[in-house]
Structure 1
Amino acid sequence: MTVEGGCHCGAVRYVLAVDAAPAIYCCHCLNCQSWAGSAFTQSALLPDGAISVTGPVIEYRFINPSGHESHQRLCGTCHTRIFNTNSARPGLVVLRAGTLDESDRLSPRLHMWVRRKQPWVVIAEDIPTFEETPPIAEFVATMLR
């Protein structure tokens, strides 16, 4: 199976080295709302090296309040955020799931930071929700089911 995606303008494309479409989660925290310019973000965790990118990628780096360094990768033309890495999660890539070519075929496995969600967002009753960041064991178990 080939899983592909890219930016809004098409200048950046990527291919994922995975056997199936990745599991996604939604985050409703204020930082994600600000980054997305929307009510929440859709993301997928991938092993580092699972994404092969072509096109003009630029990098925006910053230090989080926790002291960890975040590396955001964006299209150099339209500035769509494609993925990021963070020193707090070595070996992992956070893919912006809305950039997947078939993102409309994916359903989130969980929603986090729902205490900050917009009041008009309705989450299906069968999807696990967490008021803030879920405990890592629950997050992993839910994402790997």
Structure 2
Amino acid sequence: MSLEGGCRCGGVRYELASDDLPLTYACHCLDCQTWSGSAFALHAIVAQNALSIEGSVHDFRLPEGQEARPSDHIGCAVCLTRIVNRNEALPNMLVLRVGTLDRSRDVSPAVHIWTRQKQEWLTIDDSTPTFEVSPTPAEFAAALSG
């Protein structure tokens, strides 16, 4: 079985080889707030070889110094929806924008990061792991595995 998703205009579609919805995290950093135009962004780390993307894809990288960790961003060349990004910190993995999944309404964040910068009006359930900044890889993996 697989999961499907795509951009806003339908020009890019993808298939994620997975029977289950990916474990998702909400990032509340100011960059994610600005990029998403919302209070946070929903992401999932997926294996690069599990995702196949078709359509009018556009790849770009922000100029040096504009991201804490330079990333290659992949999205729609028409509507500019970002689908995934990749960076050297996660070899053979992609960071999927979970809001692009067709079943995004079925997803709930398992972890919240960068809560130090979250919007004050937003309440996070006490049972959901939170980190004021980015957790270490070990802390993040432990929180996602629940």
TM-score interval (norm. to shorter): over 0.9
Please, what is the CA RMSD of the aligned residues? 1.6
How big is the shift at 1:68? 4.6
Counterparts of 2:67 and 2:6, CA distance in 1: 30
Call closer, same or farther: CA 1:30–1:21 in 2, change over 3 Å: same
How big is the shift at 1:65? 6.0
Q: Report the TM-score when normalising by structure 1.
A: 0.93
1:82·1:99 contact (CA, 8 Å) conserved in 2?
A: yes
**Among the aligned pairs, what percent are the same residue?**
47
Counterparts of 2:135 and 2:70, CA distance in 1: 21
How big is the shift at 1:132? 0.5
Cα shift readout 1:58-117 (whole Å, capped 9, x = no counterpart): 011133567753100110110001000012222110000000001111111100000100
1:64·1:70 contact (CA, 8 Å) conserved in 2?
A: no
Which ranges in structure 2 are unaligned for 5 or more consecutive residues? none
How big is the shift at 1:29? 0.5
Q: Report the TM-score when normalising by structure 2.
A: 0.92
Counterparts of 2:49 and 2:122, CA distance in 1: 34
Code of the residue aligned with 1:60 in structure 2: it is F
After the TM superposition, which parts of structure 1 deviate over 3 Å for at least 4 consecutive aligned residues?
A: 63-69
**Matching residue of 1:3:** 3
Which ranges in structure 1 are unaligned for 5 or more consecutive residues? none
